[in-house]
Amino acid sequence: MVSHAPSGLQFWQIDSAGIERYREVQVTCPVANVGDFFAWPCAETMLAGLLAVYRCIPQLAVWQTEKRWVGAPIRQQTGLLRNKRVIILGSGAIGQAVAQQLSGFTSAIQFLARTDPKAQLHSKAELQAALPETDIVVNCLPGSAEGFFSAELIEAMPPTSIYASVGRGNTTDEPALIAALQTGRLGGAVLDVTAQEPLPTDSPLWAMPNVLLTQHSGGGQPEEDEGKVRILLRNLQNLQHQQPLENEVELSRGY
């Protein structure tokens, strides 16, 4: 990746929410990302994945392709999303959308955010202390939080709990996560992101019945490209009229 933007660049509209990979690029012009454009669809993916795991949808889908009717026995394996204790890592737009959607399930929600005064948890130590009484962890962290969800944190989760991630793949200790899933130290996982994408074919995650992989499709939505263009056009108009930009960011800070 280049470290300097073209000298004549007057404005840079990034077409994603995450900008971590551009932190080293030196620019003198304004830069903006797409803000919360992907927040709601990403949250819906997390909600859909959690519901699917609790309601045994992946197994039922396999039986459907096999034209195999199992019926009543699967009822004993189903769970409920209702009243679950949830910790959301990151209180940004995606985390807020996840919380809003989970509110319909009367979930008890805590946020982890280092600098947000409205969050209930502000440090890794506080998070680790809260994890044993948690049913679901939803990771919405940016790539700048590399390795944050460590083996120690995974170990602190109850064996029936579910780990869901729509942040960045590098924020999770993936080998530790795989080990916990393989040994029953974790109930399941919903992963929109992985450490390496595409996920290598030899990854154990592919074959785990308690893992749902959504292949970084979380931000997908109708007219996705058109929506990005509309954001760009509005910002170009803002520049022309010397108005504040939508979703202006500082590359060096990562947000």
Query: Active-site residues: which are they?
Result: 168, 197, 216
Contact between 1 and 25 under an 8 Å Cβ cutoff? The reply is yes
Contact between 254 and 20 under an 8 Å Cβ cutoff? The reply is yes
CA–CA distance, 22 with 223 (Å, rounded to integer): 26
CA-to-CA dists, residue 194 to 101, 119, 146, 199, 214, angstroms? 23, 26, 12, 7, 10
The DSSP letter of residue 147 is: T
Hey, how many other C-beta atoms are within 10 angstroms of the C-beta on 169? Answer: 19
CA-to-CA dists, residue 206 to 155, 199, 212, 243, angstroms? 22, 8, 9, 48
Question: What six digits make up the tokens of 228?
Answer: 């990005």
CA angle 252, 97, 193 (to 5 degrees): 60
CA-to-CA dists, residue 237 to 9, 134, 241, 243, angstroms? 16, 46, 6, 8
CA–CA distance, 152 with 176 (Å, rounded to integer): 9
